[in-house]
Amino acid sequence: MDLRWKKRLMDEGEINRAVNRMAHEIIERSDRLEGVVLVGIHTRGIPMAEHLSKLIKHYEGVELPVGKLDITLYRDDLTEIGVQPIVRRTEVPVDIHDRELVLCDDVLYTGRTARAALDALMDLGRPSLIRLAVLVDRGHRELPIQADYVGRAIQTSRSEVIKVRFHSTDGQEGVDLLERGS
Amino acid sequence: MRQMIKDARIAGLTEGTEVADLYWRDGVIEGVGVGGEVDRVWEAKGAFLAPALMDLQAHFCDPGQEVREGLAAGMKAAAAGGFGTVVVMPDTEPVLDDAAQVAHLQARAEALGGVRVRVAGALSRGLNGEQIADLAALQQAGVVLATDGVMAVRDGHLFRRACEYAEELGLLVQGGGLDRNLCQAGVMHEGRVSERLGLPGQPAIAERLALYRDAEIARMTGARVHFGHVTTSESVELLAWLRAQGAPISVGTTPHHLLLSEESMAPFDPRCKVFPPLRPPSDAKALRQALIDGKIDCIATDHQPWTLAEKEQDLVQAPAGIAGLETAWAVLYTALVVPRLLTVERLLELWTSGPARVMGWKEPRLVAGEAADMVLLDLDTPRPVEPMGFFSKSRISPWDGQNLCGWPIATFVRGQCCFTREGFGEASRTSVHRTERL
Amino acid sequence: MMEAVQIRHRHLLDLEDWSASEIESLWRTTDAMVEVMQRKVKKVPALQGLTIVTLFFENSTRTRLSFERAAKAQSAEVLNFAAGGSSLSKGESLKDTLKAIDAMQADLYVVRHGVAGTPHQMSRWTDASIVNAGDGRRAHPTQALLDGYTFRQGFRGFDGFRGKRLVIVGDVMHSRVARSNIGLWTKLGAEVVLCGPRTLLPTELGQWPGVQRCFRLEEAVEGAHAVMALRMQRERMQSGLFPSVSEYQARYQLTAKVMERAHPDALVMHPGPMNRDVEIEGVLADSPRSVIEQQVAHGVPVRMAVLYSLLVGRAR
């Protein structure tokens, strides 16, 4: 698949400002911040969750645990695809029973990843509440799923691809819009 | 009826591409270029005419397991393989240890016509290795060889007595191929490959020891003993040495032991399961050398037909045996004569005068006064092995799909045509017509 | 660290054609499956809609259960076919038997058979995937994978298989577990020492690269990193393969005392089922060196990873 770069949507500073704002929103909306668990979806939901945790600790002095969630085994297309997704270990360091979770991911698109993540979380325990935080919401939902915290909402077409990069996973930081070649 | 094969290269009579016409009346050859009116002309168009092949070892499973072969299918398969004479084995149900049965089998074969069927009788009653069969009565009924099969008679003493008895009758005995105890439950040759495949093996000495005992008994008793399934280099050397010491023995092997090896088992292919088992490639090579050196007297097919359902089993359940009548000549011709490892004359000898000498029969030749048992071979046109087109009921071949040369195109026994390959007969019939008008 | 690779195999017949990086990738997937089996709900929907048939021509309740659990934990449908004895007794060829079951539209067969090569033969007769759950004395690849995984997880300060030494003690001749472990450990760079009475250690096996034979247990375990005792079946005495149980115990029983000669962190393994105090001293089996229970526990996640690897991403 050919991908053509179109434009930069967010640079490092813009990402920082967006995540900063989301951190504040999480602080504001939570009744008991100590009970919140941040759960990042492999791969780029994890640096986002870690980033949020760091900022919340900075502002409030509360260190929220960060879990890593792999949703591969919950994908609804496993038996239809021609490549084999690599399954990574899910690591949620605390019992999520009755806890408030913030599920973190880089991009919200069809909603299928979030759906799979919800199923996965339910198999880990019974959280009291799950909220969804995404850096970019690009629309085109196929399931009735909405994000509670959005870094930036962007209008896209289906032929476009959003590429998010973080220092810890990609060695650089930024959000780019690419176009799928014919 | 007087017939003639026109424009054939004739074994032992013509040189190179030179062709000649061979005439025969009823079942007897009149000679080459005799001339005169004939009832039928067969256009050889340069094909190679040879004495019909002889197979000293074929299992027709008749009576009892006709689902695997039966006399009629087996005889057709033999004719299609270029054979004019076949010795059928006694491991039938019931066992061929009874004179009346042997006589009946031979009468049925006569009635069917075509290939000459000679009978090997059981050496021990019921092949049980406990009591010698009525060898004199069997011989009188037509038995030409006494054998208990590939596994050596367990009791050496019994084999000794049987040999003494047979010697006095002048009956040929087949010696043991494998020692049962040493073989255990082995399904293939024990060695590198069996260990890799995790299949139980049988050690090569299971063959050598069986041969050694029986050959020594032959030497002691003076009985003529034939070893029909000699498959290892060391067995060949052992028997050559014993023969040099005066043991009245003869040696045969099979096309599959000459051409295939234990490696053929590597894809877990029950088609290649056979007893004695396929050996390492070095043994097959030594056997091929022994053909040249004269340490092997004859080749036999050890044609052992099984149904597909019987063969499509795991390697332990699947029965041992290869149905090779229809491919025997072509596989060896293609693998040995085409690359000039062996002359066509020597290969022919191993299938004709070789077995005749082993049996004490007159050596077949295409000259006046001899029986018109002949095969016409197309040495040049490659044709794939197609088991589904076999006359044998066993449509399984380890050579499935391979392109071979040398295929028989017509077989004549007692002067009568009992096989023509598709296309050959047609062309001839028109030429008969024309000749008659002339 | 090795990159995870896509596993492109259709079947798991043996490990001969699996590369070291494929095996490591499978073990990474196993890591994820271990976590799944620690959850409250030990079930993921990964293989929903797929059908797995266990085809056991030889009885083995443990192995079958382990596969069944691995399949069900990923939401596959599981059908069990206990073929028991031979299909020939019904006048049906092995191929016919498989063709009949093929009508169930299975996506994968788990095959256990007493004769080597049967899973290979079957793979020629069906479009479904085949997992070899043990064929004759040839191979038991999932057992070797779980043994290797247990060593990878359990050996203190594990830094790879290179330079490690595995000793396999007992009836190597009849053991598919031994053959598969030999193949796996040598592929990953370890040495394998086979130990037992000469009658049970085929000469040919001792000539494989990276493999040695040793007939004295004390010498064999010297400096070993893992020692695996094989089940000793009493029937072997009848075939003249060893004289008596007491003589076997005296010479080849794996004991705490003999393990003192091994590496201080050496692990004791046994593929089960275990004859306590025959091939392995009871107290040793229960000692901290022993990872026998972990071997059993790893059976399910390893098999989950195998099923996942063969069944996901197959659409082309």
CA gap B225, B251 in Å, rounded: 9
Provide the pLDDT for residue C84: 64
CA nearest to C272, candidates C65, C32, C36, C14: C65
CA end-to-end span of chain C: 30
> What is the per-residue pLDDT for B436?
39
Radius of gyration for chain B, computed over Cα atoms and rounded to the nearest angstrom: 21
Average pLDDT over residues A92-110: 95
Contact between C4 and A90 using a beta-carbon 8 Å cutoff: no
Whether residue B20 contacts residue B13, with contact meaning beta carbons closer than 8 Å, is answered with: yes
Q: Is C44 on the interface with A (CB under 8 A)?
A: yes
Question: Token pair of C295, please?
Answer: 């071997």
pLDDT at A4 over 50: yes
**8 A C-beta contact, residue B371 and residue B29:** yes
Residues B239 and B260 in one domain: yes
Residue A94 dihedral angles phi and psi, to the nearest 5°: -125, 160
Task: Tell me whether residue B420 is in a domain.
Answer: yes
In a domain, residue B369? The reply is: no
Q: What is the pLDDT of residue B430?
A: 41
Average the pLDDT over C170-190 and give the result: 96
Q: Which of C116, C204, C239 sits opposite B315 (nearest CB)?
A: C116
> Do B13 and B80 fall into the same domain?
no
C159 in helix, strand or coil?
coil
Please name the member of C88, C113, C116 whose beta carbon is closest to the beta carbon of B199. C116
Whether B135 and B6 share a structural domain? no
- For strand B403-404 and strand B383-384, is the pairing parallel, antiparallel, or unpaired? antiparallel
Find tokens 């280099």 and name the residue: B233
Helix (H) or strand (E) holding B209: helix B205-221
Judgement on whether residues B256 and B108 belong to the same structural domain of the protein: yes
Query: Of A79, A91, A96, which to mutate for an interface test with C (greatest number of C Cβ within 10 Å)?
Result: A79
CATH number of domain containing B418: 2.30.40.10
Task: Give me the number of domains chain A comprises.
Answer: 1
- Domains of chain C, each with CATH number or no CATH: 20-139+297-311 (3.40.50.1370), 141-291 (3.40.50.1370)
- For residue A42, the enclosing domain spans 3-180
CA angle B375, B380, B385 (to 5 degrees): 80
C-alpha distances out from residue C3 to A102, C21, C24, C154, C313, Å: 31, 8, 9, 22, 18
B43 shares its domain with B59 = no
- The reply to whether residue C46 touches residue A78, judged by beta carbons under 8 angstroms, is yes
List residues of B with catalytic annotation: 302
Output the six-digit token pair for A40.
């990042």
Q: What is the CATH number of the domain that holds A142?
A: 3.40.50.2020
**How confident is the model at residue C2, as a pLDDT?**
61
Partner-chain contact B314 C205, CB within 8 Å? no
Write down how long chain B is: 438
Return the pLDDT at C89.
56
- Chain C residues with CB-CB distance to B394 below 8 A: none
Q: Can you give the pLDDT at residue B126?
A: 95
Contact yes or no for C116 and B192 at CB 8 A: no
Q: Which residue has the tokens 């969804």?
A: A132
| B40-43 and B2-10 beta bridge pairing | parallel
Residue-by-residue DSSP string for A148-167 = SEEEEE----TTEEEEEE-H
d(Cα C237, Cα B43) in Å, to the nearest integer? 69
Q: Which residues make beta-bridge pairs with B85?
A: B54, B116
H or E element that contains B238: helix B233-244
- For residue B415, is it within any domain? yes
Answer whether A90 sits within 8 Å of C35, measured CB to CB.
yes
Q: Answer positive or negative: Cα dihedral of B155, B161, B165, B167.
A: positive
**Of B116, B150, B71, B134, the residue nearest B364 (C-alpha):** B116
Same domain, B21 and B70: no
Structure tokens at C22: 């494929």
Helix or strand holding residue B408 (H, E) = strand B408-413
CATH number, domain with residue B326: 3.20.20.140
B70 φ, ψ (degrees, to nearest 5): 85, 160
CB B172 within 8 Å of CB B297? no
- The pair phi, psi for residue B379, each rounded to 5°, is -80, -10
Cβ of B275: how many Cβ atoms within 10 Å?
Answer: 23
Taking only the tens place, the pLDDT of each residue in B135-189 is 999 999 999 999 999 999 999 999 999 999 999 999 999 998 899 999 999 999 9
Residues C281-299 have a mean pLDDT of 96
Nearest-angstrom CA–CA distance, C179 and C139: 6
Sheet containing strand A3-10, strands side by side: A3-10, A174-180, A160-165
The rounded distance, in Å, linking the Cα atoms of C193 and C227 is 9
Across the A:C interface, residue pairs with CB atoms under 8 Å apart total 77
How large is the average pLDDT for residues A110-131? 94
Which residue type occupies C307? Answer: L
Are the C-beta atoms of B364 and B371 separated by less than 8 Å? yes
Given this model, what pLDDT does residue C90 score? 60
Same domain as B15, residue B117: no
Residues forming beta bridges with residue B252, ordered by sequence position: B298
Give C196-227 as a DSSP string. S-GGGS-HHHHTSTTEEEES-HHHHHTT-SEE
Hey, what amino acid is at A89? R
- In this structure, are B328 and B379 located in the same domain? no
Token readout for C179 is: 């053959």
What are the pLDDT digits (tens) for A36-79?
999 999 999 999 999 999 999 999 999 999 999 999 999 988 88
Other CB atoms within 10 Å distance of the CB of residue A43: 18
Give the nearest partner residue to B198 out of C88, C92, C137, using CB atoms. C137
- C-alpha C233/C-alpha A85 separation (Å) is 43
Domain that residue B309 falls in: 52-363
Write down the pLDDT at residue C8.
85
Inter-chain residue contact C50 with A79, CB threshold 8 Å: yes
Could you say which residues of chain B have pLDDT below 50? 427-438
Q: Which residues of C touch A84 (CB under 8 A)?
A: 6-7, 309, 312-313
Query: What's the distance, CA B162 to chain centroid?
Result: 24
Query: B23 and B128: one domain?
Result: no
Task: Assess whether B196 and B65 both reside in one domain.
Answer: yes
Helices (H), B23-145: 71-80, 99-112, 135-141
Q: What is the pLDDT of residue C92?
A: 78
Pair (B40, B62) in one structural domain: no
Give pLDDT, residue A80: 82
In this complex, whether A and C touch, counting 3 or more CB pairs under 8 angstroms, is yes
Assess contact for B174 and B120: CB atoms under 8 A: yes
Q: Which chains form contacts with chain B, at 3 or more CB pairs under 8 Å? A: C
> Is residue C285 within 8 angstroms of chain B, CB to CB?
no
Claim to verify: residue B42 and residue B58 sit in the same structural domain: no
Runs of H (alpha helix) within chain C: 20-36, 61-72, 94-102, 118-123, 141-154, 176-187, 203-206, 217-221, 235-238, 245-252, 256-259, 282-285, 292-311
Across the interface, of C32, C39, C45, the residue whose CB is closest to A88 is C32
Look at chain B and report how many structural domains it folds into.
2
Chain centroid to Cα C257, Å, comes to 27
Work out whether the CA dihedral B286, B288, B293, B296 comes out positive or negative: positive
Within 13 A of C69's CA, how many CA atoms are on the CB side?
A: 19
Token pair belonging to C258: 């003999």
Tell me the per-residue pLDDT of B39-98, one tens digit each, with 9 for 90 and over: 999 999 999 999 999 999 999 999 999 999 999 999 999 999 999 999 999 999 999 999
